[in-house]
A and B are shown apart, each in its own frame.
Chain A
Amino acid sequence: MIPSRIMYHALRFTTYVLFGIVFLFLFSPAAAQESGRAVTDDEVNAIAKELYCPICESTPLDVCPTQACKDWREVIRTKLAEGQTEAEIKAYFELQYGARALAEPPQSGFSLSAWIMPIVLVIAVLFGFIYYMRSIRTPQSPQASGVDESGTLVQDPQIQPEPDQDDYVARIERELRDI
């Protein structure tokens, strides 16, 4: 004879396990597949947009009209129905067709240069620009002044009339006088 207390705990445990199994089943990818979840074209395109046709270069998968791309879009649909995430699907395409299937180069190996080089370039050029500007900057000359091109003298105490320095400035001054 099993004591009722043990029976009660056994029943409670069984109920929890059953609920757990049902919960896992309901929310598992397999359940999504078997539940026949209809994947919309928009869901497929949202991922296809981030992938590129491995055959027709520079053509995103969502707009590529070839039969191969239609098939690949169906692969995305199937995988979404199986419950795979966007990252998993992209990883699958990368594994199958290489990094060229991705719209953005991966952040590893040679592809890392795509991420680093532009930043290095921008920083280097801006530093170069500042260095160059500092090198051509004249000492604080007393005649340094601002000239409003419109011919309107700006009432700022720092602004003085500027004598001609070269042909170009002379021409600007001449045009200003003619306005």
Chain B
Amino acid sequence: MFKGWNVGLIIFTYILVILGTLNVRSGLVSSVHSFAQSNIGWFFLGFLGFMILFSLYWIVVRYDQLRSKNQIDSFLSREAAFMLNNVLFLLIAAVTLFFTYLPVMSELVTGQRMTVGASFFEKFNGPLFAALLVLMGIAPLTMWYRTSIRWLRRMTFGPLVAATLAVVILFILDVRNWLALLGFWIVTFSLILTIFEFIRPGYKRVRNKGESPFKAVSGFITQNRRRYGGYIIHLGVLVMAFGIISTELYQQETQIRLTRGNSVPLGEFSMVFNGVERYPGPDDLEITEASVDVFKDGEFVRTLNPRTELYTRTQQPMTIPGVRSTFTEDFYVIMINWEGTSADAATFRIYVNPLINWVWAGAFIFLAGTLVAAWPDPAEDKIVAAERSRRRIAISGATGD
């Protein structure tokens, strides 16, 4: 039933990629990539128009093959869950697109360009992403055609209780931001449901076939790569969600001017400014490098060297941060200003980003899931080859060749 949807989404995604390139290359929407602005924008506009027409042509030509029997038995079915998933993704894309073009539209209507900041995107897309995360957990439980409420209730009761308990523990541990608690509740709920998708069949194989847990898990993943690749992708997204919620809501930052030997506290950390050294780098680089000692809970952790690099010929400055990165948090320091040897003082901006590396870890899990799902499956190839051969015989039989 999703043949048309799949083709439509693939075309839409590709057109959006071209549109995004057009935006930044033409200067229509200002972005960090605007440095690449050039006359090539017109080429992209032409190409975008061509791609839209080309895609529409083939959709019309192949309409009979793309058309499928769009029927569902129940709102509580896997078909409906897939459909809602598509709708949520499209809504997020539409809201993002609307906010991206709003400055341009406001300039056309009022003559003044308005700004739509990052926080505004988050305000509207946040709830849609939350809905997507809930769906990500529940959708695998739904069955084709129809799922009974009783079955869903039975399968979600345990994870609901466990997620609620996790949030209560976080509350006891002094997490009082209701948005964070809600976010962690949703992510934990979906995470438990997704993990159960691995535990349930794995346990059955261990019990029925006497396999080792590792062999059982790898066995059913190999047998159905696309499905379990998809679940691994879900795991990656949920791990990323943990990182994003933590960093968005619990990031600590400060900006301060320090003289040599002075320190600044930030959360569990403190930082002591040791001094600045200026020296020539390769080519025309002039490097101004600070030395700061980082302490956590009063214990020395390491020395960082945030620096600025100035390309003297072009007078192009670059800021290189000092970063102490762990799985639980990043300590990140930028030297904003150095007042010269006479003052022996510098201004620093410091961030503590909790669980930021979870976003990276989630991205790698996501990538692993994609590889598992997309890896060629010889058994499937055989099925497809047999199907093709069957159709060829049927066609040649019908035409009398």
Closest to A157 in B: B148
C-alpha gap A60/B32 in the complex (Å):
12
Asked if B120 and A104 sit within 8 Å, CB to CB, the answer is yes
Residue of B84, B106, B114 ringed by the most chain A CB atoms within 10 A:
B114
Evaluate contact between B119 and A154: CB separation under 8 angstroms: no
Instruction: Give the nearest-CB partner of A146 in chain B.
Output: B143
Contacts A111-B106, A133-B83; is A149 near B227 (CB within 8 Å)?
Answer: yes
Q: Indicate if the CB atoms of B99 and A114 lie closer than 8 Å.
A: yes
Set of chain B residues within 8 Å of A126, measured between Cβ atoms: 87
B222 CB to nearest A CB, Å = 11
| Residues of B with C-beta under 8 A to A159 | 143, 146, 148
The distance in angstroms between the C-alpha atoms of A179 and B222, with both chains bound, is 10
Instruction: Please tell me the number of chain B residues within 8 Å of chain A, measured between CB atoms.
Output: 67
Interface membership of A117, Cβ < 8 A: yes
Instruction: Select which of B71, B112, B117, B201 is within 8 A of A103 by beta carbon.
Output: B117
Fill in one digit per residue for A85-102: 1 if any B CB lies within 8 Å of its CB, else 0.
Answer: 000000000000011111
User: A35 near B: Cβ within 8 Å?
Assistant: no
Binds B, one of A10-18, A23-31, A134-142: A134-142
Q: In the bound complex, do residue B257 and residue A41 qualify as a contact, i.e. CB atoms below 8 Å apart?
A: yes
Indicate if the CB atoms of A114 and B116 lie closer than 8 Å: yes
Of the residues A98, A105, A168, contact of B1 by C-beta under 8 Å: A168
Q: With the chains together, A178 CA to B377 CA distance in Å? A: 13
Report Cα–Cα, A125/B103, bound state, in Å. Answer: 23
Does any Cβ of A come within 8 Å of B353's Cβ? no
Give the nearest-CB partner of B108 in chain A.
Answer: A110
Q: A179 and B115 in contact (CB under 8 A), knowing A41-B347, A162-B144, A168-B68?
A: no
Residue from the list B102, B148, B201 in contact with A156, Cβ < 8 A: B148
**B113 within 8 A of partner (CB):** yes
Which range holds the interface residue count of chain A?
Answer: 35 or more
Question: Is B314 an interface position by the 8 A CB rule?
Answer: no
Distance in angstroms between the alpha carbons of A104 and B102 in the assembled complex: 12
Q: How far is the CB of A101 from chain B (nearest CB, A)?
A: 7
Residues facing B in A121-138 (CB within 8 A) are 121-122, 125-126, 129, 133, 136-138
- A122-B91, A147-B143, A156-B151 known; A105 and B115 CB under 8 Å? yes
Q: How far is the CA of A118 from the CA of B116 in the complex (A)?
A: 13
Chain B hits for A175, CB < 8 A: 224, 380, 383
- Say yes or no: is A172 at the interface (Cβ < 8 Å to chain B): yes
- Closest A-chain residue to B379, C-beta based? A178
B69 within 8 A of A: yes
Chain A to chain B contacts (Cβ below 8 Å), 16 pairs: A41-B254, A45-B255, A99-B114, A100-B112, A100-B113, A102-B117, A103-B115, A146-B77, A146-B144, A147-B143, A147-B144, A149-B78, A150-B201, A150-B224, A159-B146, A168-B3
User: Chain A: residues with CB nearer than 8 A to chain B?
Assistant: 40-42, 45, 50, 52, 57-58, 60, 65, 98-105, 109-111, 113-114, 117-118, 121-122, 125-126, 129, 133, 136-138, 140-141, 144-150, 152, 154, 156, 158-159, 162, 165-166, 168-169, 171-172, 174-175, 178-179
